[in-house]
Amino acid sequence: MTEHDDPSRDRLKHHFAQRVIHQARHLLEIWQNLSRSEWNSAGMADLREAALRLQRHAERFEQAEHAQLAASVCACLDAVQDNRGRLTSELISEFNRLMQRLSRTGLRHGDQLEQTQLPPLRKPVYLALQDVERAERLSQQLEFFGLHAQPCDSANAFRSAMAERHPAALVMDIDFAGAGNGLGLAEEVQAGLAHKLPVLFFSHTETDTPTRLAAARAGGQDFFSGTLDASGVLEKIETLTRVAHYDPFRVLIVDDSRAQATHTEMVLNGAGIVTRALTAPLSVMAELAEFQPDLIILDMYMPECLGTELAKVIRQHERYVSVPIIYLSAEDDLDKQLDAMSEGGDDFLTKPIKPRHLIATVRNRAARARSLKARMVRDSLTGLFNHTHTLQLLDDACYRSRREGQPLTFAMLDIDHFKKVNDTYGHPMGDRVIKSLALFLKQRLRKTDHIGRYGGEEFAVVLPDTDAESAVRVLEEIRQRFAEIRYPAHPNDLTCTFSCGIAQLIDPMDVTTLAKRADEALYRAKHGGRNRVELFEHL
């Protein structure tokens, strides 16, 4: 027997690899906890310790990719420390990129342990359905969305899977392994867990209130009846299976005193809030367009203008009507403070202010403003950006593309024969297909891409730092995979396709021309046979 065929050596490989994977998961969990709360020195110290431990294990067991990612995380933490503990949007973007890569990284072909089979870093979803064929079909559909789903064909198989690894979520038939047994199994696995596992219950038929109450007590987050489709399941578990994408609040500080602006920046940066300081108030509109803050902090008294006057100017622009403005000033006259707030302000803080008070006020105001903005700029059915905001994002992307000299492409998608879907299967099925494509695009595109519902069955995608050739390649892959999704229907399952038109920004083209060219390319795709991607050819 050769060394390669030695079973004990393979077991040792598997043990070493599991230790690396365990450390990677631990690092991801710390990152998620840090992202959900706020950045602080203790949390960053824990993150560094976990990254160093992963690096040591990966180097020791010859896992080059894990070692490189861990070293890069440490380098980012060093950059934060060199920046006096201040976070920047660039550093946060790099942290996000590394954590997303780490979440997808298992042992790849060519690694030292390429013969070792290990589960992926991202937690799977367990499918415990009475109908095994249905479970296999749903598993395949979820794989199209990039989600690992593991069917269990018996109660023992389910218990074995739970003993090996807890999932991100369970999809549980209430009659799995016998009438009503699914509820009992769910309660059984939840016993003793500090954090209950989310369960999506399923029943072939409509159920009564006591059954649904029992499901809720067993950790049920939702209850499906009749049919199960991948997009509906994915919609419920999407946020539970993705690595946290830390999206910090952005605050613009306008203060003619450099010392005061720097102090405010340091306080907010220490809490994980990205800031930009401006000591020349008359240039505020250019900074607003470029930085897109969630909140503005204004000094009341500046040589060039009063804070209240600047607030009026900001409020004259429709795009910034809802951005919170907080005055930060030494002014302690209550009447003057109230007058200032009537001039476009949302709050008034008096210097000196305790750091905790400043951080809490900024966080609360910014969180509420972001929540309200999300409702205003997003489509209610899909959660994607609406038509108006998509064009605003395209305008911003064009500005950055010209400034940074990077390519930009714009894509328009249209679901083929959508009216026939509505007429044949009903509007609920049409809505399901629209939501499915929205989820599919969110899963398959980058966090830096902007996806909008342009209207009806039409979608738009803004692809920064992407040339036409790359955009065609990405959208073509998405088109092919989307066509493989099946929607349960009678008498036959439904499949859908989409057509796509793409145009690249070329100076001195404006936003209107770019959108028109993408629309023309989409028109050619629709009239050239549908289910295809067309690029606008520049003459």
pLDDT 10s digit of each residue in the chain, 539 long?
444 455 555 555 556 667 788 788 788 878 877 766 666 777 788 889 999 989 988 888 778 888 899 999 999 999 888 887 777 767 877 887 888 778 766 533 333 333 333 344 467 889 999 888 888 888 877 776 667 788 998 999 999 988 888 888 889 999 898 888 888 888 888 887 777 788 889 888 888 888 888 888 888 878 888 777 666 777 677 655 555 556 788 999 998 888 888 888 888 887 778 889 888 888 888 888 888 899 999 888 888 888 788 888 888 887 888 889 988 877 777 877 777 777 777 788 878 888 888 988 998 898 888 878 777 788 878 888 999 889 988 988 898 888 888 999 999 999 999 999 999 888 888 888 898 898 889 878 887 899 999 988 999 999 999 999 999 999 999 999 888 888 877 777 888 999 999 999 987 888 899 999 999 999 999 998 999 999 998 64
Q: Give the β-pairing of 295-298 and 408-415.
A: unpaired
Q: Which residue has the tokens 């440490």?
A: 74
Cis peptide before 210 (omega within 30 of 0): no
Sequence-separated (6 or more) residues with CB below 8 Å from residue 81: none
Number of H helices, E strands in the chain: 19, 15
User: Other C-beta atoms within 10 Å of 227: how many?
Assistant: 14
Q: Is 228 helix (H, G, I), strand (E, B) or coil?
A: coil
- DSSP per-residue codes, 185-244: HHHHHHTT-SSPPPEEEEESS---HHHHHHHHHTTEEEEEES---HHHHHHHHHHHHSPP
Cα angle 479, 377, 348 (rounded to 5 degrees) comes to: 145
Give the bridge partners for 225, in sequence order.
203
Q: Please state the separation of Cα 381 from the chain's center in Å.
A: 17
> For residue 46, which of 69, 28, 20, 67 has the smallest C-alpha distance?
28
Find out whether 63 and 245 touch, Cβ atoms under 8 Å.
no
Q: Walk across the sheet containing 450-455 and list its strands.
A: 450-455, 458-464, 408-415, 498-504, 533-535
Give the bridge partners for 461, in sequence order.
411, 451
> For residue 157, which of 183, 132, 134 has the smallest C-alpha distance?
132
Burial bucket for residue 486 (CB in 10 Å: 0-12, 13-18, 19+): middle
Q: HSE (CB half, 13 Å, CA atoms) of 149?
A: 27
Structure tokens at 251: 């605050």
Q: Please state the separation of Cα 159 from the chain's center in Å.
A: 31
- DSSP per-residue codes, 314-379: HHTSGGGTTS-EEEEES---HHHHHHHHHTT-SEEEESS--HHHHHHHHHHHHHHHHHHHHHHHB-
Please measure the distance between the N-terminal and C-terminal CA atoms of the chain and give it in whole angstroms. 66
Rg (CA), the chain: 26
Taking the C-alpha atoms of residue 318 and residue 7, their distance in angstroms, rounded to an integer, is 69
DSSP 492: S
What phi-psi label fits residue 472: left (phi over 0), alpha (psi between -120 and 50 degrees) or beta? alpha
pLDDT for res 490:
76
Taking the C-alpha atoms of residue 231 and residue 222, their distance in angstroms, rounded to an integer, is 14
